[in-house]
Amino acid sequence: MKKEKRIVVKVGTNVLTKHDGTLDKPIFRQVVVQLARLKEMGWSPILVSSGAVGAGRSIIGDCDIQDEAIRRQVLSSVGQASLMKRYYELFHEYDIVCSQVLATKEDFATGDHYQNMINCFEGLLGQGIVPIVNENDVVSLVELMFTDNDELAGLTAQMVEAEKLIILSNIDGLFTGMPGEDGSELVKEVGLNDQAAKTFVSSNKSGQGRGGMESKLKVACEAAAKGIETFIANGKRDHVVIDIVNGKQIGTRFLIGETVNEK
């Protein structure tokens, strides 16, 4: 199978949930519609999806377990089934088979785990199946967890030798300051070794997700350095994935083998 048509789309918790932490159901349909369109266009998409904890919270509420790690395990365990059911039903409308791939950090270490994961992806993509990847929060040890699903998406894109990686957030991309502040502008392109980009982000996180722009920038720069054209864009925007693939200037694009952006 031609690997140059592989694309990884990561959709974060803040895209998939409302302000109250419950799932934003119309967004799920938007994501699936776009991946179905990608398949029509000849791409082999892989979806890295957060949302299991949010799905669990939608079902049982914010449970009263005091230990944060155990609470996350419970919410994720309950929510993962609901999350996959939603994706299965939506993909089924387009006669597309999807699958669940729950990963731990150990699966991306060299050796048998790594080769088994490659074999899994190759088998699924070879059959035209859309893999839906998420961290296995139920069994992952806290000290060995991915930083967030941005890291998981970057590692997945490298593993399958993807051509593009699209990281969907609840903001339009990388800004020169805090989004919405006076004078803060969207950074449209980031070149390789662009040190200035690091000065634009803080380690602050927003909403329900574990990641933040600092994490997204790190993952995007690493993926671009590996030859994967990477984008950070607003997942709440209609047709965002298709527009990016069609070459529209949306979000922040991380260039491959280009000179550093001097802006």
Q: What is the pLDDT of residue 262?
A: 40
Could you give the C-alpha distances from 93 to 33, 87, 89, in angstroms and in order?
10, 10, 7
Specify the number of domains making up the chain: 1
Domain contains 193: yes
Torsion from C-alpha of 236, 28, 100, 173, nearest 10 degrees: 0
If one counts every other C-beta atom within 10 angstroms of the C-beta of residue 65, the result is 13
CB 233 within 8 A of CB 189: no
> Does residue 88 sit within a domain?
yes
**Rounded Cα distance, 38 and 54, in Å:** 26
131 lies in a domain? yes
Whether pTM exceeds 0.85: yes
Asked if residue 86 is part of any domain, the answer here is yes
107: domain CATH number? 3.40.1160.10
Closest CA to 102 of 52, 55, 172: 52
126 is a domain residue: yes
Number of helical H runs and strand E runs in the chain:
8, 8
Is residue 262 one of the residues assigned to a domain? no
* DSSP for 181-223, written as a single string: STT--B--EE-TT-GGGGGG--S---TT-S--HHHHHHHHHHH
Q: In a structure prediction context, what are the per-residue pLDDT tens digits for the chain, which is 263 residues long?
A: 445 599 999 998 889 988 877 778 899 999 999 999 999 999 999 999 988 888 888 888 877 888 887 888 888 888 888 899 999 999 999 999 999 999 888 888 878 889 999 999 999 999 999 999 998 866 655 545 677 889 999 999 999 999 999 999 999 999 987 777 777 889 999 987 776 676 777 544 444 444 478 889 999 999 999 999 999 999 999 999 999 999 999 999 999 865 444 43
pLDDT of residue 62: 73
pLDDT value for 4: 56
**Residue 131 contacts residue 46 (beta carbons within 8 Å):** yes
Residue 261 counted as domain residue: no
The rounded Cα 53 to chain-centroid distance in angstroms is 15
Written in H, E and C, the secondary structure of 20-42 is CCCECHHHHHHHHHHHHHHHHCC
- Please give the residue range of the domain that contains residue 151: 3-254
State the pLDDT at residue 234: 96
Q: Which amino acid is at 256?
A: I
Decide if 46 is inside a domain: yes
